[in-house]
Amino acid sequence: MAEETQGTMQKAPQTDAKPKASENNNNRRPNNPNRKPNPNRNGKPGEKPVGNKPSGNKPSGGNRNKNRNNRYKRQPTPVDENLKTFVGKNQDAHKQRLNPHYKLDLGSKAKIRVTPLGGLGEIGGNIMVFETEKEAILVDVGMSFPDETMHGVDILIPDFSYLREIKDKIVGIVITHAHEDHIGAMPYLYKEMQFPIYGTPLPLAMIGNKFDEHHIKEHRKYFNPIVKREIVKIGNDFEVEWMHMTHSILDSSSVAITTEAGTVIHTGDFKIDYTPVDGYTADLHRLAYYGEKGVLCLLSDSTNSHNPTPTGSELSVAPALDRIFAKAEGRVLLSTFSSNIHRVQQAIQYGIKYGRKVCVIGRSMERNIEIAMQYDYVRFNKNIFIDADEVSRLNDKEVLIVTTGSQGEANSALFRMSIGEHRHVKIKPTDLIVLSSRAIPGNEGSISGMLNHLQRAGASVAMSKDIHVSGHASMEEQKLMLRLVNPKFFLPIHGEYNHVMKHRETGMMCGVPERNILLMTDGEQIEIAPKYMRKVKTVKTGKTYIDNQNNHQIEDDIVLDRQKLATDGVVMMVVEVSEQNSKMLDKPKVTTFGIVPDKQDKAFAKEMEDVVEIYLTNIKPGLIENSRALENDIRQVVRKHIYRKMKKYPLIVPHVLVH
């Protein structure tokens, strides 16, 4: 608007009616020696003053003054040179503020090495090694879950080979939060080697519980509880600060690890919850503090990096819970992840609001609520709780059952209730089952199976989206993290390849150059110095299989055998061979499982007899004395034959007896 006003006030006559193209910035310059010269006169093309449209010598349409010599020509805005220098100064300030380069000691020769031993290229099993020349710390020691091909395996823990190698360098273990995928492998590590453990109270309490269960109570002596915002020196080389983070478990942290090379921020798992249930918001101020000081590298949670919608607050499930409890006519059975204490807390609050007593069923749920109450993370009047055997004494409308089994796990309380096998609780048609969780990928089938059972028993099931919210940062919160921390280098962590890949894109959007971002996989060692980041080597990683019944390791070959048994079956055969003429003394005894139907057993045995007979007629002289070699050979010929005929590789177990 100001521009137009100025234009209409212009009175000076136009002197140069036919300007050359090159002069079109000046062609309407009034012939007035008192006016300031147009600083853009000699400017480059494109630097025209705003609003100075090349309108040739046509009269300006908006000019009411019809006098040809007084046509409208816009007077260029004078530029205040002093003001302009401040634009440059502000640009410099932005550069200083945004470019982490300026905040790092580029002359420093110090470096730090980062090696994920789990948690990359997979979900769970998180364990990260940070190493200086002389010392190392670990961040989290988690477990993960097997897939359906790992028969009889309950959990997976990371391969500790590399830790054995650098055992003498390790000065401590830093714990970010108490989820199983961050602490679940601790007892297995501690049975073998021990180091000081640093963490906030809840994760330590949960690790302590594991130590007790594994009969290594004495290792609680390695606990070093810390206070958030207080910097802890670990060994000689590491200074670590825990910064409060919001996540789907209480008392979570990001950690700032400072070594001579600079500060590395490891976010742990996080989301940015502006209205957390306990009021303890993420410590954005400390993140910003480090960002301001200069951060060498950020390692940030990639779990939800595909999600463009910001992750909701834990409090966002409250209205749905309220609605559910307000309407429920019979018992309410709510199931969620037992570690999500704030979810459980909210459910209990609404239960109480609508006059219900609370019965907690399921070992992990009972234990987690107990720990949260013991350590004052949540407070409930003890008289709101009832035991499972008291449920039947109350009116259905007075009962809230909080239980495990939201993933349809076959040994969980809710699953047993669904098939009528729970000691105290049988599902009734008036029951309302609330699944306040999402399906962990891979569990959809078992959840669906449990839903079938529950609905067959007549119960209603509520599992809408608004009764669950994720604990992981979506793209927008990942951006906030990147902008607050403003790192020079960026390592997206926690997630499969496609998650970290997407997180890289977000990192680039937030100002980290592509060359400063590396996508790691388990076992890759990255060296970071103020001047560079590069992959230096690969260390051994993998998974160790654990049987939860006895907490013992299952050797790899056992799992491989089980896989073969499950998919291809087994052939056992006993072959008696004459020492004199290398001929079979009798028909071989052949037993099979999972290969041919019973009615074809005999035909199959005959086939095996023929295969062995042909083999024996061509046997090399002298081999007959070596029954081990004979067995190997027979295994080979039988394997070839079966594969040719059936395209299967069963387990083949030959026994050769030579008389």
Binding site for Zn ion (CB under 5 A): 179, 269
User: Which two tokens mark 176?
Assistant: 């970010």
By the 10 Å C-beta count (0-12 exposed, 13-18 middle, 19+ buried), 495 is classed as buried
**Which of 103, 472 has the CB closer to Zn ion?**
472
Residue type, 413: A
Closer residue to Zn ion, CB minimum distance, 179 or 331 = 179
Task: Using the minimum distance from each CB to Zn ion, give the nearer residue, 112 or 250.
Answer: 250
Min dist CB 463 to Zn ion, Å, is 22
Give the whole-angstrom CA distance, residue 329 versus residue 334.
Answer: 14
Tokens 């099993």 — which residue? 125
* Planar angle of CA 177, 181, 183, nearest 5 degrees: 55
CB 633 within 8 A of CB 623: yes
* Closest separation in Å from C-beta 224 to Zn ion: 21
In the complex, the smallest distance separating the C-beta of residue 247 from Zn ion, rounded to whole angstroms, is: 5
H or E element at residue 199: strand 197-199
Can you spell out the DSSP letters for 135-151? -EEEEEE--B---TTST
- In this complex, which beta carbon is closest to Zn ion, that of residue 179 or of residue 453? 179
- Closest to Zn ion by CB, 271 vs 416, is 271
CB of 251 to Zn ion, least distance (A): 11
Q: How far is the CB of 177 from Zn ion (least distance, A)?
A: 6
**DSSP string covering 151-185:** TT--EEEE--HHHHHTGGGEEEEE-----HHHHTT
Are the C-beta atoms of residues 216 and 186 closer than 8 Å to each other?
no
Cα 483 to Cα 78, 220, 265: the distances in Å are 37, 38, 13
How far, rounded to the nearest angstrom, does the alpha carbon of residue 368 sit from its chain's CA centroid? 22
If the CB atoms of residues 72 and 270 are measured against Zn ion, the closer one turns out to be 270
DSSP structure class, residue 582: -
By C-beta, is 247 or 504 nearer to Zn ion? 247
Of residues 245 and 573, the one with the C-beta less far from Zn ion = 245
* Local structure of 324: helix, strand or coil: helix
CB of 127 to Zn ion, least distance (A): 14
Closest CA to 554 of 545, 562, 543: 545
Token pair 């395209």 is found at 647
Q: 182 or 416: whose CB is closer to Zn ion?
A: 182
DSSP 495-558: B-HHHHHHHHHHHHHTT--GGGB----TTEEEEEETTEEEEEEE----EEEEETTTTEEE-HHH
- Closest approach, Cβ 179 to Zn ion, in A, equals 4
Q: 615 with 583: CB under 8 angstroms?
A: no
Residue 658 in contact with residue 624, Cβ under 8 Å? Answer: yes
Task: Tokens 């560079």: give the residue.
Answer: 532
Supply the minimum distance, in Å, between the C-beta of residue 426 and Zn ion.
34
**Residue 258 or residue 404: which is nearer to Zn ion going by CB?**
404
Nearer to Zn ion, 25 or 176 (CB): 176
Nearest distance from C-beta of residue 140 to Zn ion, angstroms: 9
Which parts of 322-416 are beta strand (E)? 332-335, 357-361, 385-386, 399-403
- Residue 131 or residue 269: which is nearer to Zn ion going by CB? 269
Give the residue at shortest CB distance from Zn ion: 269
Separation of alpha carbons 315 and 248, rounded Å: 11
Which helix or strand (DSSP H or E) is residue 203 part of? helix 201-213
Residue 130 region, left (φ>0) first, then alpha (ψ -120 to 50), else beta? beta
Question: Count of residues for the chain?
Answer: 659
Nearest partner of 542 among 190, 161, 173, judged by Cα:
161
What is the bridge-based pairing of β-strands 238-245 and 232-234?
antiparallel
Comparing CB distances to Zn ion, the nearer of 237 and 269 is 269
Nearest distance from C-beta of residue 507 to Zn ion, angstroms = 21
Query: In this complex, which beta carbon is closest to Zn ion, that of residue 179 or of residue 422?
Result: 179
Are 633 and 551 spatial neighbours (Cβ–Cβ below 8 Å)? no
